Structure 1
Amino acid sequence: MIENENIKIPLDVPAKSRNRYRDNYLRITKGRERLMLFAGDQKAEHLNDDFFGEGIDREDNDPEHLFRIAASSNIGVFATQLGLIARYGMDYPSVPYLVKLNSKTNLIKAEQADPRSPLWIDVPQVVEFMESSKLDILGVGYTIYLGSEHEGEMLSQAARLVYQAHQAGLVTVLWVYPRGRAVADERDPHLIAGAAGVALTLGSDFVKLNYPAGAEEDRADLFKEAVQAAGRTKVVCAGGESTDARLFLQRLHDQIHISGAAGNATGRNIHQRPLDEAIRLCNAIYAITLDNASVDWAYRLYSGE
């Protein structure tokens, strides 16, 4: 557990917002400086591909499935767009939220045009919504496609939103993915480390990165470069496509205890399962991330043994 006085509050958090920032940071990390982020922003990012089809439980096609999981599981924060929160949040006021400020669909492929994902809403609007709705909004998030010909626009927007969020005492998470026609291999570990460093220069509290490519036994070591390059910006790893639960939990354990990552941001691997199984997997991920549980113990928790 981290004590209040040991939190390094960024200098762009003004005196009037320091208590709110400290409280939000402690709550989003459960006082352990690690983040278990349940990602529910794919309704825009991947359209209905992640919610309906072979291997996906039919419950997942109902958007409320995301909120049922978030309300019934151990998580640090549930990240999704403000519109979804506005439509369902009145029935789930106990959920800790992170508002995703930008998104794009997957219809335009990188070989057709470089990705561009400008703001949908800005931080002052989030603050207004937080105050009027009385919901538990702890932070904001934003995606940058590094290497896109539009990266300048996204970097500029990210810099401003991190500053504005800190001014309001909110925690920030940047999704930073190398992607576009200038990027030969977006899973290159050295390039991912560069993306981590960019998130640090933007002043973000956390950065969500893809796990590098490579043999499974080597990936955790390769990811160390990104964790070190991020400095005081904490690294969380994207969950990726749905996979075997045991392999997923082992990979998460290695990311934290070998690479030195500070948590995970998981969506599809959780919400594509039936509600009861999704809750059990959420709790197993939380146990590894926040409670330093072993893979065996977490897998038993997931299995219901």
Structure 2
Amino acid sequence: MYQKIVTLLGAEAQSLLEHECKTIRKDLIHVPGPDWVDRIWEHSDRPIRVMRNLQAMYGHGRLADTGYMSILPVDQGIEHSAGASFAKNPLYFDPENIVKLAIEGGCNAVASTFGVLGSIARKYAHHIPFIVKINHNEFLTYPNKYDQIMFGTLKEAYEMGASAVGATIYFGSPESSRQIIEVAQAFAMAHELGMATVLWCYLRNPGFKVNNVDYHVSADLTGQANHLGVTIEADIVKQKLPENNGGYKAISSKENPYGKIDERMYTELASDHPIDLVRYQVANSYMGRASLINSGGASSGEGDLAQAVRTAVINKRGGGAGLISGRKAFQRPMKEGVELLNAIQDVYLSKEITVA
């Protein structure tokens, strides 16, 4: 298992597997482990039923009782259009195959829409934890617009047996203030009903692209998005893997100052190493009390397996709690999708790969 991971990492293997974090030390963060729900949530305000559902997710699949999570998310039929998402593999127009892939792939949970999960709930809700995505970007208005709107109710999610609800906030967008209020209220009600909460803490603003550099994936801005997410009591935060840093400084100018920084964010709390950048995201998630799961990203073909394993290694060594990978898995034959999900899980099962 370990040697296969080393081979897939290629020239980056030594840099990623032997790196030691000297920014935010390992002993300062909450490292995932078998006792995760007891250790982290025992003294919180989360109702007993929420803890039970969190345990159901952490206790399911190949990563059961490790403190790590592997989640299959398939909401791209709305977010990116069904045709564009499923043309490579029309099998997944049928919701049952989405759930079958998550089960066969040994995932902790499957995340999808009200329609997908509701259509097969009675057959599968007791076989794998459901995460019902409650808001989406409706992608048919012309010209296209980017906003997250509610697609259903918390009662519907509860009645179909969901273990958790998921939502997206486009932090930095003109609509973010409304989205924060809507999702905060929804998460409060979800907790009252006993469901856990998962927040897609995404950034969206054309101003975040400066001089051909995309700061939607900068550690400082994504870290702050995570911090806002855990402030509204997300139990798990989903974030893109950071690819750069210094978003605040790049966007801000004397004419248009933006945000607040302390230079130590860049000189002491982070470095250019990808593992240190993830560690900064973890720190902003209450030092890891809220599990950080990084997204797997779009499918690019033959390099998907190596890229997914690389992301998992960076997440685990940075102190994250897992990966949520969809398109890389479902945009290929089911057998290959299962193999990719298992390869991701192998990173978290490998004792040789430790938190940096």
The TM-score with structure 2 as length reference comes to 0.71
Map 1:1-305 onto structure 2 (within 5 A): 1-2=34-35, 5-9=38-42, 11-14=44-47, 18=48, 20-30=49-59, 31-47=65-81, 48-52=83-87, 56-93=88-125, 94-106=127-139, 115-130=146-161, 137-184=162-209, 185-214=215-244, 218-231=273-286, 232-243=289-300, 244=303, 245-257=305-317, 259-289=318-348, 291-292=349-350
Residue 37 of structure 1 aligns to a residue whose secondary structure is: strand
Show CA shifts across 1:197-216 (max 9, x none).
1111111111101112249x
Residue 240 of structure 1 aligns to a residue whose secondary structure is: coil
Identify which range, 142-151 or 279-288, moves more after superposition.
Answer: 279-288
Change (3 A) 1:219 1:3: closer
Quote how far apart the aligned CAs of 1:294 are: 5.8
Are 2:36 and 2:67, in contact at CA under 8 Å, matched by a contact in 1? Answer: no
Residue 196 of structure 1 aligns to a residue whose secondary structure is: helix
Identical columns (%) = 24
- Distance across 1 between alignment mates of 2:351 and 2:141: 41
For structure 1, the residue ranges without an aligned partner over 5 or more in a row are 131-136, 296-305
Are 2:113 and 2:133, in contact at CA under 8 Å, matched by a contact in 1? Answer: yes
- Distance across 2 between alignment mates of 1:74 and 1:205: 22
Q: Which position in structure 1 is the counterpart of 2:258? A: none
Are 1:26 and 1:33, in contact at CA under 8 Å, matched by a contact in 2? Answer: no
Show CA shifts across 1:59-96 (max 9, x none).
34544431220232211110001111122334434132
Residue 328 of structure 2 aligns to a residue whose secondary structure is: helix
Quote how far apart the aligned CAs of 1:7 are: 4.0
Are 2:122 and 2:160, in contact at CA under 8 Å, matched by a contact in 1? Answer: no
- Distance across 1 between alignment mates of 2:293 and 2:98: 20
- Distance across 2 between alignment mates of 1:59 and 1:84: 14
- Matched letter for residue 103 of structure 1: H
The TM-score with structure 1 as length reference comes to 0.82
- Distance across 2 between alignment mates of 1:62 and 1:82: 14
Quote how far apart the aligned CAs of 1:106 are: 4.2
Change (3 A) 1:114 1:10: farther
Are 1:37 and 1:265, in contact at CA under 8 Å, matched by a contact in 2? Answer: yes
- Matched letter for residue 197 of structure 2: T
Are 1:162 and 1:202, in contact at CA under 8 Å, matched by a contact in 2? Answer: yes
Quote how far apart the aligned CAs of 1:284 are: 2.2
Are 1:141 and 1:172, in contact at CA under 8 Å, matched by a contact in 2? Answer: yes
Residue 185 of structure 2 aligns to a residue whose secondary structure is: helix
Are 1:65 and 1:271, in contact at CA under 8 Å, matched by a contact in 2? Answer: no
Quote how far apart the aligned CAs of 1:292 are: 3.3
Are 1:114 and 1:149, in contact at CA under 8 Å, matched by a contact in 2? Answer: no
Are 1:71 and 1:92, in contact at CA under 8 Å, matched by a contact in 2? Answer: no
Quote how far apart the aligned CAs of 1:152 are: 0.9
Identify which range, 139-148 or 5-14, moves more after superposition.
Answer: 5-14
- Distance across 1 between alignment mates of 2:37 and 2:275: 31
Quote how far apart the aligned CAs of 1:4 are: 6.2
Change (3 A) 1:129 1:88: closer
- Matched letter for residue 187 of structure 2: V
Change (3 A) 1:227 1:5: closer
- Matched letter for residue 149 of structure 2: P
Quote how far apart the aligned CAs of 1:180 are: 2.1
Quote how far apart the aligned CAs of 1:167 are: 1.5
What root-mean-square deviation, in Å, do the aligned CA atoms of Structure 1 and Structure 2 show? 2.4
Residue 299 of structure 2 aligns to a residue whose secondary structure is: coil
**What is the number of equivalent residue pairs in this alignment?**
277
Are 1:41 and 1:81, in contact at CA under 8 Å, matched by a contact in 2? Answer: yes
Q: Which position in structure 2 is the counterpart of 1:301? A: none
- Distance across 1 between alignment mates of 2:95 and 2:199: 24
- Distance across 2 between alignment mates of 1:129 and 1:66: 17
